[in-house]
Amino acid sequence: MNPLRSLIPEEWRASIRGFQLELNHDCRNAVVLAGTGRSGTTWVSEFINYDNSYRDMFEPFHRLHAPHGSYFFYGLYMRPDSRDPDYLQAAGHVLTGRLHRHYSDRFNKRRISSRRLIKEVRANLWLNWLHRNFPGVPIIFILRHPCAVASSRVFMDWPSRLGQFLCQDELTHDYLAPYVEEIRSARTPFERHVFVWCIQHYVPLRQFSAGQVHLMFYEELCSKPRPTISQMFSFLGRPFDHAVFGRLEMPSSMSRRDSAVARGQRNRLVDAWREHVSASELRRAVEILNLFGLDRVYNEDSMPDARVANTILEQNA
């Protein structure tokens, strides 16, 4: 064994093996992009990192691909005031860039970095916990119409894992108690996925205040990309140039082959889901949204009411 090997810290050795080295471990040099699966998070991450300024960390809390992953199971809820040392250590490992795994670095193209872009679809129910425990980390939260998300998940035969939400006593006590019977009565995969969408958005919208998180809507990115992207970079305090808009015509790394963007049909990005959702499913989705008061943000219309969502945050102050 090379005697010099023992002098090199393990995290450096991991970086060298993966051809990636972190120069700055300040967690405030990380940006967290959160949302639910199939909401456009990968696409948005490619806008943020259009110039390869960040180390791209793809879903680093996935339990199958990270040593800390068993802690952050799908649907995990954490109270914002929790100070559990295991979770804090695991999250800090990611935010400071000390995690090096093939899965989370598979889209990364920056080998030497001091800033990180963390794209995660499992963080919604502990996003405010992250904000409280790691202040100064900018968080972007992307939303997309629940019918678009649910229909895509059903098409891909994803399990809803609804039971993993209901089995958490703290989550039920804090937020779900009034809705448990309705949730348990969900009959179809589509309904179950709509309920999951509601849970994953109801909690963060109740927990955050204005200014603590930047809400970004997939539909607004599609319909008015320039002001939407400008507002996002303003929140991040970053300049950008017009090269970022070149991403508009490109599908994300995780887009389905039959998606509107992959077929070059940008004019259908907002409401392509209507081809796969029946009138009765749409009505039922709005009924479920109404239970949580989220029908004020999304309903039968394809476009959201972003003003209402931001007003909810203002009222939480």
Domain that holds residue 197: 5-315
258: pLDDT strictly greater than 80: no
What's the rounded Cα separation, in Å, for the pair 262 and 276? 17
- Burial code (b: 16+ CB inside 10 Å, e: under 16) for 102-136 equals eebbebbebeebbbbbbbbbbbbbbbbbbbbbbee
pLDDT in tens, 48-63: 999 999 999 999 999 8
262: pLDDT strictly greater than 50: no
pLDDT in tens, 188-217: 999 999 999 999 999 999 999 999 999 999
What's the rounded Cα separation, in Å, for the pair 191 and 281? 8
What backbone phi and psi angles, to 5 degrees, belong to 113? -145, 160
End-to-end Cα distance, the chain: 58
Lowest mean pLDDT among 17-21, 27-31, 52-56, 291-295: 17-21
Number of folded domains in the chain?
1
Helix (H, G, I), strand (E, B) or coil at 172: helix
The distance from CA 72 to its chain's CA centroid, rounded to whole angstroms, is 14
Q: Distances from the Cα of 230 to the Cαs of 101, 137, 152, 271, in angstroms?
A: 32, 19, 28, 23
Write the CB contacts of 259 (distance below 8 Å, at least 6 apart in sequence): 251, 272
CATH number of the CATH domain containing 174: 3.40.50
What's the rounded Cα separation, in Å, for the pair 170 and 177? 10
Average per-residue pLDDT in the chain? 91
What's the rounded Cα separation, in Å, for the pair 134 and 82? 12
β-pairing, 112-113 vs 139-143, is: unpaired
Over range 5-10, report the average pLDDT.
58
Over range 276-285, report the average pLDDT.
98
